[in-house]
Chains A and B, each alone.
Chain A
Amino acid sequence: ETGVTQSPTHLIKTRGQQVTLRCSSQSGHNTVSWYQQALGQGPQFIFQYYREEENGRGNFPPRFSGLQFPNYSSELNVNALELDDSALYLCASSLARGEPIYNEQFFGPGTRLTVL
């Protein structure tokens, strides 16, 4: 069973540019959540995708957008990069069964984005 993978590992961009981060979910999982972890902070929820649709969103502006593909992999896109977007971006996949139980989230290793 393959775990959650993310690419790239590190990325450097300049202010105003656009970036795409990628996440491959664990085999059999249908849900992907994205988190932003700024330096010295805890991860903050960006949004979640379930069966290719956005299922919930945190307090992030519209320039943060995402996609989920039929194979349940996902992309996080950030437009008009700002210095404060520098962070570790984590994705987590899970299997939502539609039952009132907790759906365990498995985290990837993260992508470290630096905006200069």
Chain B
Amino acid sequence: AQKVTQAQTEISVVEKEDVTLDCVYETRDTTYYLFWYKQPPSGELVFLIRRNSFDEQNEISGRYSWNFQKSTSSFNFTITASQVVDSAVYFCAQSGGTGFQKLVFGTGTRLLVSP
């Protein structure tokens, strides 16, 4: 069975601080995908990134970076120099790689960035 754990319920930082959101996943699939989504107060899920299980290369996109480590089943998300607009709930999710695919989400981490 698939499971995603986001142990951090809420994180508060001051603008310009760096912050890392943790994600630990469980799966028996050899092929799978990992995701991060942002959910602002409006409620719509905003896709941030997708990684497949065969690609452990870390990725950087502007102030965002992701660290994927299969050895620890983790897919952590770092925001560098946080901004007030980063305030939102962030979800880590997982999907199987073949056949029937559904997204399994973690419980989310609420990030509050204050000025």
Contact = CB atoms under 8 A, between A and B. Distances in A.
Interface residues of B, number: 25
Interface size, A (range): 20 to 34
Contacts of A43: 45, 91, 103, 105
B101 A88 contact: no
A102 B107 contact: no
Q: Helix, strand, loop or mixed for chain B's interface?
A: loop
A107 B103 CA distance: 12
Given A102-B50, A102-B52, A33 B102 contact: yes
Interface stretch (B58-66, B78-86, B92-100): B92-100
Interface of A: 33, 35, 40-45, 48, 55-56, 58, 88, 90, 92, 94, 100, 102-105, 107-110, 112
B97 A102 contact: yes
Contacts of B42: 109
Interface of B: 4, 31, 33, 42-45, 47, 50, 52, 91, 93, 95, 97-108
Nearest to B108: A42
Given A55-B100, A100-B31, A42 B95 contact: no
Contact of A45 (B44, B98, B102): B102
B105 A42 contact: yes
